[in-house]
A and B are shown apart, each in its own frame.
Chain A
Amino acid sequence: MKVTVCIGSSCHIKGSRHVVEQLQDLIARDNLSDKIELGGTFCMGKCQQGVCVTVDGEFFSVSPETVGTFFEKEIKARV
């Protein structure tokens, strides 16, 4: 599974670093690092909806506060 987090300026200001760090921690906690490829990109063109995240190409709007539920629902449930 490929999870891509936007680390462009707009998403960065909205906390993409915290989203990435939490995802890294959650992936490590659940031993999913061989199943999930976490990557970064600069701008997905939907800056208003940041932090922008895609899971195998499907778009999600995530924030540092919602990343936990997002991980359970959209990532963990699918692997």
Chain B
Amino acid sequence: MQKFDTKVQYLKYKVLREVARQAWNDTLLENVMDIPKIIVPGKVPTMRCCVHKERAILAERVKLAMGGGSSSNVIQVIEIACDDCPAVGYQVTDSCRGCLAHRCESACKRGAISFDHRHEAHIDKTKCVECGQCAKVCPYSAIVNRKRPCQNACKIKAISINEDDAACIDDEKCIQCGACVYQCPFGAISDRSFILNVIDMLKKSEGNRKYKVYALVAPAIGSQLNYAKLGQVISGIKELGFHTVVEAALGADMVAQAESKELTERGFLTSSCCPAFVRYVKTAFPALAPYISHNLSPMATLARYIREHDASAKIVFIGPCTAKKAEAQLENVKPYVDAVITFEELQALLDSREIDITSLPEDLLDNASYFGRIFARSGGLSDAVAEGLKEQKLDDFQLKACTCDGIEECRMALLKKSRNALDANFIEGMACVNGCIGGAGNLTHGEKNKAAVDSYGREALEKTILDAIAPLK
């Protein structure tokens, strides 16, 4: 049973679990300073130069786990955890054999490559533009790109290096996708957690008697915590104290229906489901912002429905997404969603209560259609909009969807649209590669996750969008 992809996730999880444990026991305030020592006991360092540095970093992780941090951004750099990775760009390594072909020299349009007396290549950094052509053609793979993993992960270039050599996020540019969080090998970038708000809500509900706490789970759940059955995960969430669990995919069905209709009325749209994409359009392509669908995201759409029927409800979204944490703070979403946590954080909450979901009976989760459920993977939203047009007999409208898998593809499509060169009338924008199943808050990111979401989709009782949303009218 492998719960996480990386040891960094595991470390973050241990901090979240301990913070949660103390919070459930009402001992967090008195023990908060001791948590680093609980996680790293003894005198032998296992991660850094000494236990003191390890604990200093852990103290910062504790702060983030408690929702704090140095700025209001959901994504934060833990400066002392940053290993100041080399960031020199393309560099010739000692694998260069001083060959005769000099393909690197021919490939370089800038004349940046020269050779020493042993024929070994050197790159003149005053001429190099980091295009990477030399690295591509070297038969020995002797030229490497020394980029910081965080900067490499951040395709919208919101990460720079500060005067102390640490990574630094431009909060204006950052879209909270969390790619850097997942990619930093030292765990030096992390997302603020709202688990304490959730624990507080659950406690004060007094077993859902004072008010009801709803868990809205993202459809990516179909690919997560798969060491247990999905029904057991649902039992586990209820065991934590939630009143009930509802599929956010039902919100996706509502969105698919409304968005396909909106598309026929407006002629061109971009999707509005992915909060990182929406923020990217607004910050990097403000001229295209009017084209963003007016629909709230599936999370907010369903939360609004629940709120309208249960005014005192507390609504918690559980998903794969760090950007949803920022979305929940937007003025038009705040009234509906009380907190957002990730699947990583759900795992920590379950384990903080020592809930072994594999030993629980299987509960049910069935609110949405196949189409709502496949929103979790790239292409699913476009499929759902096509289905929405068909079901509403709007299929004389010719859908030309441009499915953007990851923020780089989004950027290309938006660039083309801003130059009037996009041959499409609908942009499906997903900031994470593979869609939500690639989100930073997932426990695991595997090849099989897309198939897992598709098969979860096929298990839905309702086969059409209109059938899924019929009881909501």
Contact = CB atoms under 8 A, between A and B. Distances in A.
A10 interface: yes
Interface in A1-44: 5, 7-10, 12-13, 16-17, 20-21, 24, 39-43
A12 B470 contact: no
A8 B246 contact: yes
B462 interface: yes
B304 interface: no
Interface of B: 214, 234, 243-247, 306, 309-310, 363-367, 461-462, 467, 470-473
Nearest to A7: B471
A39 B461 contact: no
Chain B contact residues: helix, strand, loop or mixed = mixed
Contacts of A41: 309-310
Interface residues of A, number: 18
Contacts of B214: 42
Contacts, number: 49
A8 B367 contact: yes
Interface of A: 5, 7-10, 12-13, 16-17, 20-21, 24, 39-43, 45
A5 B367 contact: no
Contacts of B309: 39-41
Given A7-B367, A43-B244, 4 more contacts: A7-B472, A20-B470, A24-B473, A40-B309
Nearest to B468: A17
B470 A13 contact: no
Contacts of A17: 462, 467, 470-471
Given A13-B366, A41-B310, A8 B244 contact: yes
A12 B244 contact: no
B336 to A, nearest CB: 14
A42 B470 contact: no
